[in-house]
Amino acid sequence: MGKNKLARFAENKILPNVFQPTREEALNQHPLKGKWRSEVFKNNNPLVLELGCGKGEYSVGLAKAFPEKNFIGIDIKGARFWFGAKEAHEKNMKNVAFLRTQVELADCFFDEGEVDEIWITFPDPQIKYRRTKHRMTHPDFLERYRKFLKKDGVIHLKTDSEFLHGYTLGLLQGLGHEIISAHHDIYGAPEYEPGTPLLRDIRTYYEGLFSAKGKTITYIKFRLKEEEYIR
């Protein structure tokens, strides 16, 4: 393991906006579950998650653009999101934090209806059939999100994978979920989601690489159908 990575791990331990619970803590009623607004952000503003946040560019970018909302970037790779956590701390941004854990455990940290919105940015498309259940828009994942997403909450998927874009559209249509908007090329189209101007304004590290290679960037905004919400 390189010295830079070790240094980032060490700094994550002291950054006030980084939370690194153990798996055991996650599975045994984490103390912040249901209390992120009151205990971490000290307000009652909407809570937005970025799942698989990578270097945290989107979490930080969204937090800058929407100071009236709280943002949490989630990723298991702390050496990556250190970049976003470090920038947010140095700029004294109080509305963004980072949680080091597996996305599969997210429902262990957030209470029913606690989250207002979810962003999924450039996840691994898991193209091989045997990896189907690992796709972050697979029905199993959608049901996990349902456990903590409020009833009218929205989910955003931004990806360079035409495969994942098509898979997700077909899945959502088949299951009867509400597709609010869908774009096959957010940079090539003359117009895009008017309520989400940051589709173009914020770029992740990987998005820059993908765009440079000529890959199209796709987007879906959707809402889980209400009648299946856990009561």
Nearest to 161 by CA among 118, 219, 103: 219
Residues identified as active-site: 124
Provide the 3-class DSSP secondary structure of residue 195: coil
The strand pair at 149-159 and 218-223 is best described as antiparallel
Q: Where are the alpha helices (DSSP H) in the chain?
A: 3-12, 23-27, 57-65, 78-90, 139-146, 162-175, 198-201, 205-212
Cα–Cα dist 65/142, whole Å? 27
DSSP 87-102: HHHHTT-SSEEEEES-
